[in-house]
Structure 1
Amino acid sequence: QAAKLRKRVAIIERELDVGGTCLHTGTIPSKTFREAVLSFRQTRDRIDELHLDHPSSERATAEKLLARVEAIIRSETRVQRDQLRRNGVNLIPGLATFVGPNSVNVRTSLGTREVTAHKMLIAVGTKPHQHPDISTDLECVINSDDILQLTELPRSIIVIGCGIVGLEYASMFAMLGVEVTIIDGRERPLEFLDSEIVDELKHQLRDHLVTFRLGEAVAGIEQRNGSPRQAMVRL
């Protein structure tokens, strides 16, 4: 928008592609994943209505679901790059560090350069919260960003935290037939919503065999080696 107002604009981005959290790990991937899940579920329900056998080509797999997500991300990345180019926005790949109120040093693959501007806008995105009692070094522990790297759908999954992201992915995995348990130290999820809406959401999730463990705090996680590996959550 600043470029359209005839301002000279530069974007400094340390990641390989533009788009940030929204495009690569947040809104766009999760909503595309949801639409892919709904598509497979609708196909499965239609086959059930016709009393037909489920062909293997119509079964949801991590590979099929994430292929759709990756296709949308690639397409939207091209769109954003084209928009920046059309509006004359200078894209600088690198890591910026403030050296003054109106200047930053940008470390790039070719070295370091200084960039100055009248105004600076900091928009560095977000990353999943790291629970102090949960180690992400365990192979069976993933965060919401790691879901996009799954190679196969789990048989069961424990979602720690029933905020918006946790409930969103819990509902999607439940629709895929994954056994889902949600754990949260709070007695009520989504406290900012009307209680009747939350109660209906919980009712629908329970219809998909989601188990709620509310008011219980996670003390730690251990990994049980075997085939397949499993996580044991201590409350």
Structure 2
Amino acid sequence: MDHHDLIVIGSGPAGRRAAIQAAKLGKSVCVVEKGRRVGGVSVHTGTIPSKTLRETALNLSGWRERGFYGRAYRVKENLSADDLRERLHITLNHEVEVLEHQFARNHVDTIKGEARFIEEKKISVHGEDGEISELAADKFLLTVGTKPFRPKDYPFDGKTFLDSDEILDLVNLPRSIAIIGAGVIGVEYATIFNALDVHVTLIEPRDSMLDFVDKELISDFTYQLRDRGMILRFGKKVEKVKKLDGAGCQIDMEDGRSIKSDMVLFAAGRMGATDSLGLENCGIECDHRGRISVNANTFETSVNGIYAAGDVIGFPSLASTSMEQGRIAACHAFGEKAHEPPEYFPYGIYAVPEISTIGMTEEEVNERNIPYECGIARFRETSRGHIMGLETGMLKMIFSLKTRRLLGCHIVGEGATELIHVGQAVINLGGTLEYFVENTFNYPTLAEAYKIAALDAWNKMPH
């Protein structure tokens, strides 16, 4: 039986970073991946594909140039699903090649197959060819990620009623699509299809979407979506979904209204991909969504020597945080020092437009009774915004009146996920309003919005 210092089950962001970190510590590492190629959900059905689809849609549709040339402007007429997939496959192949090279040069072994615990320190791996091998290790890390939640009474067929994995295999672009679930995934796909001029209806049983984001940003974002013709049905639950005899689907709402569309995407939640791991054989329990509980600092499960990281442990379920979790878990597993995760990290939502946020929202500042002031800049106030033809976009900063420190930074608009890192650095280094007021920013850039927002706050604050 092959024995390793560490076996990592799953090769997504957390598993990849953990495996390489352990290898750099001189440990023998094996990664078990049940997919055809390494990379996990992030590379094949999640982060990379959806962001590639977004970029392709914006480029080929001419979305970014419509501020100059009008809403009818197109780079390519009659866009097809094949046009979207072509760039997707090129990107995914590159990602896989980079990851395979990283594993090879760090001497990380990889095995294709489905892993299942036999006992606490031993697993069996079932390969595609039916071959079963057994592996043992001193330490294990579970980074199996998640899979779409699929209610049993919904008519999933992979053609007209799809989950968020199946949407990437579209054969034809629909004329209309209804999306159930206004979480991050649902909002991202809703705005991508809207940019492709598909008629979109977004359905959410709650009264709002993305509750963890500053409400002023969501208000601005919601206005933009409605202004673009998207239909938002919030505050009502779905009663029933049925496929129509001719084509498409009908969604019956609890208020008696019905929604008909060519296609339905169900994006209301995901589940930990733990059902096939045989966790009962090693003493680990999951919650009702298949997620594993871990120590918040070490990422060790309830079983000594078995760790878990990434989406399978729940919030925040970001590729960026999963990478750090995997690295920290590998360090703790072998007694190496590892820093604690910072209190604040950036959250990126790759909708159209992007949303990115770090630190406290205005609602959280109010709940803590912290005296504060806000500064806001609109992208149209910057010269770069004019050059890019931007009509929308805003940056909001929240400062403490007592210490003048930056408490939160929230951005909606083009390039938000890149711009947020300036605010991240200032927040985590304890910077104040004076940093933005006294420093020079490149001109013309969207980052100049930081200076504009800071001056807006400075003008309102006592001196």
Equivalent in the alignment of 2:161 = 141
Change (3 A) 1:66 1:75: same
Alignment pair present for 1:105 and 2:124: yes
Q: Aligned runs of 1:23-34 on 2, under 5 Å?
A: 23-34=43-54
CA 134–53 in structure 1, closer or farther in 2 if over 3 Å, else same: closer
Q: 1:198 to 1:98 in 2, by over 3 A?
A: same
TM-score, normalised by the number of residues in structure 1: 0.91
Q: How far apart are the structure 2 equivalents of 1:129 and 1:168?
A: 17
3-state DSSP class of the match of 1:120?
A: strand
Partner residue of 1:11?
Answer: 31
Correspondences of 1:26-175 after superposition (within 5 Å): 26-42=46-62, 45=65, 49=69, 57-108=76-127, 109=129, 111-137=131-157, 139-175=159-195
Is the contact made by 1:182 and 1:210 (CA closer than 8 Å) also made in structure 2? yes
Cα 1:90–1:51 shift into 2, 3 Å: closer
Give the unaligned 5+ runs of structure 1.
Answer: none
Which of structures 1 and 2 has the larger relative contact order (alpha carbons within 8 angstroms, sep 6+)? 1
Matched, 1:185 2:209: no
Who wins on radius of gyration, i.e. which is larger?
2
The one-letter code sitting in structure 2 at the alignment partner of 1:42 is G
> What is the DSSP-based 3-state SS (H/G/I as helix, E as strand, rest coil) of the residue aligned with 1:198?
helix
More divergent stretch after superposition (138-147 vs 99-108): 138-147
| Aligned counterparts of 2:207 and 2:178: Cα–Cα separation in 1 | 17
Q: What letter is aligned with 1:193?
A: V
- 8 A contact 1:157–1:180 mirrored in 2: yes
Counterpart in 2 of 1:234? Answer: 252
Q: CA RMSD in A?
A: 2.3
Change (3 A) 1:171 1:43: closer
**8 Å CA contact 1:162, 1:189 repeated in 2:** yes
Check whether the contact 1:133–1:219 (CA below 8 A) recurs between aligned residues.
no
Residues in 2 aligned to 1:97 and 1:115: alpha-carbon distance in whole angstroms: 10
List per-residue Cα deviations over 1:131-180 (Å, max 9, x = no partner).
Answer: 34422137410111111110111000000000000000000100110000
4+ residue runs of structure 1 moved beyond 3 angstroms? Answer: 43-46, 50-55
Q: Contact (CA 8 Å) 1:40, 1:59: kept in 2 or not?
A: no
Native 8 Å contact 1:138 1:223 kept in 2: no
Give the conservation status (yes or no) of the 8 Å contact 1:43–1:58: no
Structure 2 gaps, min length 5: 1-20, 254-463
Distance 1:111 1:133, change over 3 A: closer
CA distance in structure 2 between the partners assigned to 1:25 and 1:199 by the alignment = 30
Q: Does 1:202 align with 2:222?
A: yes
Shift of 1:111: 2.0
* Superposition deviation, residue 31 in structure 1: 0.6
Q: Secondary structure at the match of 1:118?
A: strand
User: In the comparison of the two structures, how many residue pairs are matched?
Assistant: 232
Q: Aligned equivalents of 1:35 and 1:53: distance in 2?
A: 17
Tell me, in whole angstroms, the C-alpha distance in 1 between the residues paired with 2:252 and 2:214.
Answer: 31
SS of equivalent to 2:179: strand
CA distance in 2, matches of 1:175, 1:52: 12
Identity across the alignment (%): 38
Q: 8 Å contact 1:44–1:58 — kept in the other structure? A: no
Partner Cα distance (1:51, 1:132) in 2: 41
CA contact (8 A) 1:44 1:54 kept: no
In 2, the alpha carbon distance for the partners of 1:52 and 1:39 equals 14
